[in-house]
Amino acid sequence: MHRLDGSAGGGQLLRTALSLSLVTGESFEMANIRGNRSTPGLKAQHVACVSVAASVANADVDGGDEGASTLQFDPGALSSDPVSVSVGTAGSATLVSETLLPVAVALDDPLTLTVTGGTDVRWSPPADYLRYVKRPLCATFGVSFDVEVLRRGFYPAGGGRLGVRLAPADPTPIDLLDRPPLDNVDVYSVASESLADASVADRQVEGVRDALSGAGVETPIRASVTYAESASPGTAVVLAAHCGDVVAGFDAYGERGVPAEDVGAQAVDAFADWYRSDAPVDRHMADQLLVWVAVAGGRLRIPAVTEHVRTNLDVIRAFGYDIEVRETDGGAVVECER
């Protein structure tokens, strides 16, 4: 059983450990989970991650309750039976889904997951980031999954439903060192139906267009505007920047008192920082792809070796992956032999 320390990172360390336990079939114990957070231990969202992983792996679990600071996870044989879980709050449905995606490399049959919770909530990828940024990028190295937003869930009520269908995969090594020229930017703007009269989703797109123009970015822009039924009001906007087969994503969430146009401009601020660099993917995707570099092999250039990256790599190495980091001017290259 791998002995892991979860004190120096947030939920990502737990999700990485769960993902690799599913892929390798190896057990782990994580102590001091989220120990450096103001409210340490498992939150409802993390409990849902454990529940989903345990269902797929027929695992024995000790300590998977809310508030627990230590977890033991002992996986058994994988199952492709459909899995459903409710976070019970506006906790992130996308991060619960992220936990399960790497198991594609160990599946014999497709797996269906349904998560009830927050589909578009702060501190996590919006549903449209998962659909229109990560899904097409993963497809470039042979990982295929479908994402359906069955109902939008915003903070604080949640109540959204996200469906994911994951196909068995034999991925090719990742090769993300360079970024091709920018082809176009797709904008996905969503708001609850209660905000339709104020044209909030449309105005978020206007904010994106104006901010891109102000930043001197001249590229084709395609926009999708949605007003969705939801249990509480909310908005989100996602930019998907296409550079050949490479996709980078940037997002922002609406909040009370902030004009919709400014929300669109916030997403462009993150895009502009990336656009001025030569990074192949956005910084959030770089973090998410560390597990994939381990299981698929290959090379990935990241903006910097942060403490978040270091602790995540420590968990990956604990499962026996020989993943290397070479710091370069303006960033670092992460590499692993398959």
Q: How far apart are the C-alpha atoms of 116 and 129, rounded to whole Å? A: 17
Q: Which two tokens stand for residue 81?
A: 């039976």
Tell me if 146 sits within 8 A of 225, measured CB to CB.
Answer: no
Q: Which two tokens stand for residue 250?
A: 């940037």
Where does the chain show beta strands of DSSP type E?
Answer: 2-5, 28-31, 60-62, 71-74, 83-86, 111-117, 145-151, 160-166, 174-176, 184-192, 221-228, 235-243, 246-253, 298-302, 323-328, 331-336
Last residue of a domain, one of 243, 261, 276: 276
* CATH number of the domain where residue 166 is located: 3.65.10.20
Sheet holding 221-228, edge to edge: 221-228, 184-192, 235-243, 246-253
Catalytic residue status for 2: no
Last residue of a domain, one of 276, 305, 326: 276
Q: How far apart are the C-alpha atoms of 64 and 42, rounded to whole Å? A: 8
Question: What pLDDT score does 205 carry?
Answer: 98
Q: Tell me: do 46 and 141 sit in the same domain.
A: yes
> What is the DSSP pairing of strand 28-31 with strand 2-5?
parallel
Nearest to 29 by CA among 65, 64, 2: 2
Q: Tell me: do 95 and 208 sit in the same domain.
A: no
Q: Tell me: do 261 and 313 sit in the same domain.
A: no
Question: What pLDDT score does 162 carry?
Answer: 98
Question: What pLDDT score does 261 carry?
Answer: 98
How far, CA to CA in Å, does 302 sit from each of 49, 125, 142, 240, 334? Answer: 26, 18, 21, 18, 7
* CATH number of the domain where residue 259 is located: 3.30.360.20
Q: Tell me: do 72 and 221 sit in the same domain.
A: no
Nearest to 166 by CA among 184, 150, 142, 188: 142
Q: How far apart are the C-alpha atoms of 334 and 337, rounded to whole Å? A: 11
Last residue of a domain, one of 244, 276, 308: 276
Q: Tell me: do 168 and 304 sit in the same domain.
A: yes
Q: How far apart are the C-alpha atoms of 253 and 33, rounded to whole Å? A: 28
Which range marks the domain in which residue 191 is found? Answer: 184-276
| Of 46, 242, 284, 308, catalytic | 308
Q: Tell me: do 155 and 208 sit in the same domain.
A: no
Question: What pLDDT score does 297 carry?
Answer: 98
Q: Tell me: do 146 and 52 sit in the same domain.
A: yes
- Digit-by-digit pLDDT tens for the chain (338 residues) are 999 999 987 899 999 999 999 999 999 999 999 988 888 999 999 999 999 999 999 999 999 999 999 999 999 999 999 999 999 889 999 999 999 999 999 999 999 999 999 999 999 999 999 999 999 999 999 999 999 999 999 999 999 999 999 999 999 999 999 999 999 999 999 999 999 999 999 999 999 999 999 999 999 999 999 999 999 999 999 999 999 999 999 999 999 999 999 999 999 999 999 999 999 999 999 999 999 999 999 999 998 888 889 999 999 999 999 999 998 887 899 999 98
* DSSP annotation string for 131-163: IIIIHHHHHTTT--EEEEEEE--BTTTB-EEEE
What is the crossing angle of helices 11-24 and 307-318, to 10°?
A: 20
Q: Tell me: do 75 and 130 sit in the same domain.
A: yes
Q: Tell me: do 61 and 127 sit in the same domain.
A: yes
Q: Tell me: do 313 and 164 sit in the same domain.
A: yes
Backbone phi and psi for residue 132, each to the nearest 5 degrees, phi listed first: -110, -5
Q: Tell me: do 75 and 98 sit in the same domain.
A: yes
Question: What pLDDT score does 338 carry?
Answer: 84
User: Rounded to 5 degrees, what angle do the CA atoms 104, 323, 173 make?
Assistant: 45
Q: Tell me: do 242 and 144 sit in the same domain.
A: no
Q: How many domains does the chain have?
A: 2
Question: What pLDDT score does 156 carry?
Answer: 94
